[in-house]
Structure 1
Amino acid sequence: MKKLGLFFLALTSQFFFAQATRFVYQVSMKPDSTNRNNIKTENAYLDITPEKSVFYAENRLKRDSIMGKARQTGSFNFDRSQMQSLRTNLDFLIEKDYKTGKKLYNARILRDQYSYEEDRQMDWKILPEIATIGEYKTQKAQTDFAGRTWSAWFTTEVSFQDGPYKFSGLPGLIVKVEDAKGDYSFDLKETKKIAEMQDFNQRGNLVKVKRKDFEKQEAQFRKDPAAFVQAAMGARGGSGISAPQSRGSMRSPDPNQRRQMETRMAEEQKKNNNPIELK
């Protein structure tokens, strides 16, 4: 009987270890600096195991689930309006490897997937201010990162030294973090166990680059989406990322559809002029 009890204890321990912890953050953003009353709000997940964490938008998970089922069945007759409603302002993945300390940022420009390793450290100044946020006792810290001054509230009641987006490096979990201008904030709303960490199947070409090179590509796209699309459709092979690495992945759409797409992207970029990273 004792051996049986030890067996179930070991089995339970293995199952618990295999589980991941999901921290649900509410993210508030002001992506348009010319219309600061336009506040976008959506949820994002920070999934953590003892080895690593992944941060991504809730809508990304929902969209991927719909597309995954469509590929399995071969039927893509899903509700297009539903897919539109699941678009996200957080269209990226951030992976943190606890063993190596590396942070990988993954994002898509058109149909190509880009990945770079974050090369900037966060130098935190821990302040004496204490506050209770939700169920946690927290302490304040500040850092300057990517052109913004950030204030974070962390708790030592949770052992993970991590947080939303690229934020980490404090002696506990970041419960809340916001920039000094009030443009972006991340607020922990829920914690729960999940069976396993989500495995995202990255589709399209994966281009591994330096951070500065990715930022150049992104800046070109923001400046002139139409020209970027034309370059992507004309790109064939090559090395580095002096041109979009589409390798034929972009099909030439109908001229009217292309004009509509270019107009839509240009309008979106005009309203997306206040990115989370300013430099």
Structure 2
Amino acid sequence: MKKKLIVFFSLLLVTVTYGQTVRYIYDTAVNPDSINLVSLKHERTFLDVKGIKSLFISENKLIKDSLFTAFRAEYKEDHKKRDKDFKSLNAKKELEPSFFENYIVKDIPGQKVYYYDKVAGREIFYQEDRPLKWEITDIKENQNGYPAQKAVANFGGRIWTAWFTKDINISDGPYKFSGLPGLIVKLEDENGDYKFDLVKKIKIQNAFEKPADPNAKQSTRIAFNGDKAALMLEAGKNRRLPEGYEKGDKNFGGSGHDGMRGGGMGEGRMGGGKMGGGRGMHPGGNNDNGTFSMPAVGLGSSPLRNNESQNPIELK
């Protein structure tokens, strides 16, 4: 009996340990306009490490995806309740914008980096094909509460300075950055347009795990934008017309000829803001157990999406 209990608790310990995710929270500062002198925009980003895998995601995208998933599930069968019940969620404010409208998944031991995005409701991804070549210096300083060592790399058209600590024996870091003998606790580019500072480490149970999407389109880094445009075009062609639509119906902006011109639907227009479809972690605030209280947010498109393309983290 005693032997059985030992085996049981050993298996339980393994299950609990494997199910735990260590979340590294970074205060991320972004300059939305590298040409003009403007204030840096701050948002929190998460590096969730579980076993040999990690996921990088911004808190604001996490909240948006979580809210959208809940919203879609709740009103799947009864769309008439939408306006009334959605107001009960206090969802009147615009969702906080994010500069990181994507997921980045890493295979830590293999140093493989995968970049995931979503367009027209379909997932698209590529594997990063540019290995980071770090120059590790002898300079050592305390950074964000950890003894750290300086390293420099040229990536995406920017010179990056990273400070890593061997006190956290994980070869990983924010965004696509990894490959150093320790966790990156501070990272910034030479112009100060992007800064990542580790502020907290927590353990959480049942964290988000990006589900496998059998319909995801695999692309390459070079062809990525072209493939995204093709998916948008395909979605526009396959878009179903609203219920009750008839050719030439003036209520839908019809001109009496093809019903697609004029002030209504507009030929070739792709409506709506970008919404991720993944399930979320625990959205919102800043509790030690890794859960996050839900803020009052709306489902509008992100106003920083244009700024992201104006001052992208990768210039080439």
TM-score range for the pair, normalised by the shorter chain length: 0.7 to 0.9
Q: Deviations over 1:18-49 (max 9, x none)?
A: 21111111111012123331321100110111
SS at 1:162 equivalent:
coil
Match of 2:118 among 90, 97, 108: 108
Displacement after TM superposition at 1:134 (Å) = 2.8
1:23-172 alignment to 2 at 5 Å? 23-74=24-75, 76=82, 77=86, 78-82=89-93, 84-109=94-119, 111-172=121-182
Match of 2:312 among 270, 275, 279: 275
SS at 2:176 equivalent:
coil
2:204 alignment partner in structure 1:
194
Displacement after TM superposition at 1:85 (Å) = 2.4
- The 2-side partners of 1:211 and 1:60 are apart by 22
- The 2-side partners of 1:133 and 1:87 are apart by 28
Output the amino acid matched with 1:17: Y
- The 2-side partners of 1:213 and 1:104 are apart by 14
Change (3 A) 1:140 1:202: same
CA contact (8 A) 2:32 2:38 kept: no
Which has a greater percent of helix? 1
Q: Deviations over 1:168-226 (max 9, x none)?
A: 000000001000000001111110111134134589973321101114567xx7xxxxx
Provide the identity percentage: 33
Change (3 A) 1:247 1:257: closer
SS at 2:175 equivalent:
coil
- The 2-side partners of 1:250 and 1:206 are apart by 21
SS at 2:70 equivalent:
helix
- The 2-side partners of 1:34 and 1:250 are apart by 42
Which structure would you say has the larger RCO, counting Cα contacts within 8 Å and 6 or more residues apart? Answer: 2
Displacement after TM superposition at 1:73 (Å) = 2.0
- The 1-side partners of 2:171 and 2:237 are apart by 40
SS at 1:59 equivalent:
helix
- The 2-side partners of 1:246 and 1:207 are apart by 17
Q: Deviations over 1:87-139 (max 9, x none)?
A: 31110100011354321101234544321110001000001111112331100
- The 1-side partners of 2:68 and 2:222 are apart by 32
- The 1-side partners of 2:141 and 2:239 are apart by 51
CA contact (8 A) 1:112 1:204 kept: no
Unaligned runs of 5+ in 2: 76-80, 243-251, 254-262, 273-300
The TM-score normalised by the length of structure 2 is 0.70
CA contact (8 A) 1:29 1:183 kept: yes
Output the amino acid matched with 1:275: P
Unaligned runs of 5+ in 1: 222-227, 237-244
Output the amino acid matched with 1:59: N
- The 2-side partners of 1:12 and 1:178 are apart by 38
2:238 alignment partner in structure 1:
248
Change (3 A) 1:62 1:267: closer
- The 2-side partners of 1:145 and 1:275 are apart by 13
Change (3 A) 1:194 1:32: same
Q: How many matched pairs?
A: 257
Output the amino acid matched with 1:276: I
1:242 alignment partner in structure 2:
none
- The 1-side partners of 2:219 and 2:161 are apart by 30
SS at 1:63 equivalent:
helix
CA contact (8 A) 1:113 1:202 kept: no
Change (3 A) 1:180 1:251: farther
CA contact (8 A) 2:129 2:221 kept: yes
